[in-house]
Structure 1
Amino acid sequence: MATDTLKRRLRFAPPTAVVRRVVLTEADYLIFEAINRHGPLPTHYLYEFTKHIRRDYTHLQNRLTEFYNGDAHGPWLIRPPQQFAGFEARYQHVVYDLAPRAKVALAERGTIACFSPKRSDPFLHRLMQACVVASLEISAPAKGLRYISREEILAHPKCPQATRDTQNPLAISLIGAEQKVLIPDDLFGIEYPGIGFRFFALEIDRNTESIERRNLRQSAFGAKVAGYLDILRNQTYRSHWGVPNLHILTVTTNRTHERNIIDYIKNRADPKYVGRFAVASESSFGATWRVPNMVLTKLWSEPLIATNGLMRPLARRASIPSA
């Protein structure tokens, strides 16, 4: 195994099998399932999913290293090489993704995600999305709320079978917009006990494109806003995903762009739909990005939802719109 001058294992080194056989435990499957559900995740996030049955953080680190190096039959996890291009690559938490072998193990166990379409977007986009939704799932119980995953929504009897049978169940057809289809980065829900459910389409915006361009056929956030307004007006989220309401949560990388997005929505959207849009920012994924130091619990208090000129946090137990 490759080591540095202090005999420490190199996180940049290729996998080298050091054990003959790895026997999977319940905690190991929880790791695989979390990555399969959300996308590539850093070590400290994976610990949050398993700490109730894991010995300690160091034990998890050693276990992840075993999965990365694998045994005689190959590795279980990979370390996406793109993470090592950051300025703080040597000092941040290591990010892991599933190797094919782990997906086979989940399929044999019957817990592989059924509605996770193949992704071709950049690594940082997928990492940011995974950290956002994983943060919501991890921290929801402390807020007295329940996180509802994309898998649970699409597996629910109210979701049409025709949607589940499509190549990408997240892709929703538009009726009046110039573009034909809109594909959110993710779909999730929040249960507010005693009040109801609120469902969200998630958009990750790393501020790499303009909000508005002259030609809306080009990739621009403004085109997505138009698409979501079409979905809200025609309530196609009901017939396509089977959810009773829909909000749109956009997470970007800085406060200035967050405010620009809010202003754009206020100026373009019908007042009755403005309150369906929430915007938040996370600076870790800016131009000089790094893996977040901790779970993003601030997402519950900082996302801004424009409603009659007021802003309310995501976790607030407010009335739930029926349409």
Structure 2
Amino acid sequence: MSTDTLNRRLRFAPPKPIVRRIIPTEADYLIFEAINRHGPLPTHYLYEFTKHIRRDYSHLQNRLTEFYNGDAQGAWLTRPPQQFAGFEARYQHVVYDLAPRAKVALAERGTLSRLSPKRTDPFLHQLMQACVASSLELSAPAKGLRYIPREEIFTHPKCPRLTKDGHNPMAIPVTGVEQKTVIPDDLFGIEYPGVGFRFFALEIDRNTESIKRKNLRQSAFGAKIAGYLDILRNQTYRTYWGVPNLHVLVVTTNGTHARNILEYIEMLDVQKYSDRFLFTCEPAFGSNWRVPREVLSKLLDDRWIITRGSKNLGER
């Protein structure tokens, strides 16, 4: 067994079983379901999902280590190796993802998300999206709000059967623009009790692509803006996803890039829909990235920038 000078297991070491058999508990299944719902998540986020039935944080850490090392039948969780390339890899919370065995267990339990698309985007993009979406879910109850996950939207009676049976329910068709579909990084809703519902397409932008390119075959965030404008004009979100409204949340890594995108939207002169695009920044995922030190509860507390002012997601 690989250990450091204090006889602690190395977080970079490959899995090595230390128990004969692991039987998941209800708290363990909550961990699997949270990762399945959002993507790879760090230890302290997983604790927030289970602290109401977990003994303490140290117990969770030990349990995650057991699931990573597994037993005679294999591992339940993985530690994506890309996290160890970060400058602060030795000093930040460990990130976990599901191993195939955990997905099988969720399927047998009937709680495996059936309508989640396969992820092929880079690890940091997945991690940022997972931290943002899970932060919104974890923060909503304290404000008296209810988070509506993607799975609930797609299984609702108002969601058309054609969408549910499609290869990727997230891929919403567009017309009159270069690309044929727009695929948000996530789709969710917030219920404001006594007031109504708002639904959001989440876009994670780590400033790795230009806003606009001369070569239309190259990726550009401006192409997604055009796609969303088509969706808003034609209200495709109603006919394809079955939701009554749609806002686009863009989380980027610095304020300058956010302002550049806002200026691009203003240049398009689409005032009727410009306030449907909301922006905020999370610098932890910039070039010198690190796992956030805490849940991003500020996403519901702070105001999101729009072309003419700002909005607060937590306000009814």
TM-score (norm 1): 0.96
After TM superposition, the structure 1 = structure 2 runs for residues 305-320 of structure 1, keeping only pairs within 5 Å, are: 305-306=305-306, 309-317=308-316
After TM superposition, the structure 1 = structure 2 runs for residues 136-215 of structure 1, keeping only pairs within 5 Å, are: 136-215=136-215
1:293 aligned residue: 293
Displacement after TM superposition at 1:266 (Å): 2.2
Displacement after TM superposition at 1:211 (Å): 0.9
Q: Deviations over 1:232-257 (max 9, x none)?
A: 00111111100000000000001111
CA–CA separation in structure 1 for the residues paired with 2:45 and 2:157? 31
1:13 aligned residue: 13
**1:312 is matched by which residue type in structure 2?**
K
1:34 aligned residue: 34
Displacement after TM superposition at 1:305 (Å): 4.5
1:226 aligned residue: 226
Conserved in 2, the CA contact under 8 Å of 1:278 and 1:303?
Answer: no
Displacement after TM superposition at 1:216 (Å): 3.5
CA–CA separation in structure 2 for the residues paired with 1:141 and 1:266? 35
CA–CA separation in structure 1 for the residues paired with 2:216 and 2:193? 40
Figure out how many residues of one structure are paired with residues of the other and give that number: 316
Displacement after TM superposition at 1:167 (Å): 1.2
CA–CA separation in structure 1 for the residues paired with 2:305 and 2:284? 22
1:320 aligned residue: none
TM-score (norm 2): 0.98
Conserved in 2, the CA contact under 8 Å of 1:305 and 1:311?
Answer: yes
Displacement after TM superposition at 1:303 (Å): 4.7
1:81 aligns with 2:78: no
CA–CA separation in structure 1 for the residues paired with 2:269 and 2:110? 43
Q: Give the secondary-structure state (helix, strand or coil) at the position aligned to 1:157.
A: coil
After TM superposition, the structure 1 = structure 2 runs for residues 32-181 of structure 1, keeping only pairs within 5 Å, are: 32-181=32-181
Conserved in 2, the CA contact under 8 Å of 1:275 and 1:305?
Answer: no
Displacement after TM superposition at 1:288 (Å): 0.5
Displacement after TM superposition at 1:272 (Å): 1.0
CA–CA separation in structure 1 for the residues paired with 2:78 and 2:147? 27
**1:314 is matched by which residue type in structure 2?**
L
Displacement after TM superposition at 1:313 (Å): 1.6
Q: Deviations over 1:205-252 (max 9, x none)?
A: 000111112233320110000000000001111111000000000000
CA–CA separation in structure 1 for the residues paired with 2:135 and 2:251? 13
1:321 aligned residue: none
Conserved in 1, the CA contact under 8 Å of 2:280 and 2:305?
Answer: no
Q: Give the secondary-structure state (helix, strand or coil) at the position aligned to 1:200.
A: strand
CA–CA separation in structure 1 for the residues paired with 2:146 and 2:264? 31
**2:68 is matched by which residue type in structure 1?**
Y
Displacement after TM superposition at 1:311 (Å): 1.3
CA–CA separation in structure 1 for the residues paired with 2:287 and 2:255? 14
Q: Give the secondary-structure state (helix, strand or coil) at the position aligned to 1:198.
A: strand
Range with greater deviation from structure 2 (292-301 or 264-273):
264-273
| Runs of at least 5 residues in structure 2 that lack an aligned partner in the other structure | none
Conserved in 1, the CA contact under 8 Å of 2:146 and 2:191?
Answer: yes
| Runs of at least 5 residues in structure 1 that lack an aligned partner in the other structure | 318-323
CA–CA separation in structure 2 for the residues paired with 1:306 and 1:279? 6
**2:313 is matched by which residue type in structure 1?**
L
Conserved in 1, the CA contact under 8 Å of 2:160 and 2:242?
Answer: yes
Q: Give the secondary-structure state (helix, strand or coil) at the position aligned to 1:168.
A: coil
Displacement after TM superposition at 1:304 (Å): 2.1
Conserved in 1, the CA contact under 8 Å of 2:258 and 2:279?
Answer: yes
Q: Give the secondary-structure state (helix, strand or coil) at the position aligned to 1:90.
A: helix
Taking only aligned residues, the RMSD between alpha carbons, in angstroms, comes to 1.0
**1:315 is matched by which residue type in structure 2?**
G
Relative to 1, partners in 2 of residues 1:265 and 1:303: Cα closer, same or farther, differing over 3 Å? farther
Conserved in 2, the CA contact under 8 Å of 1:106 and 1:112?
Answer: yes
CA–CA separation in structure 2 for the residues paired with 1:85 and 1:27? 30
Q: Give the secondary-structure state (helix, strand or coil) at the position aligned to 2:20.
A: coil
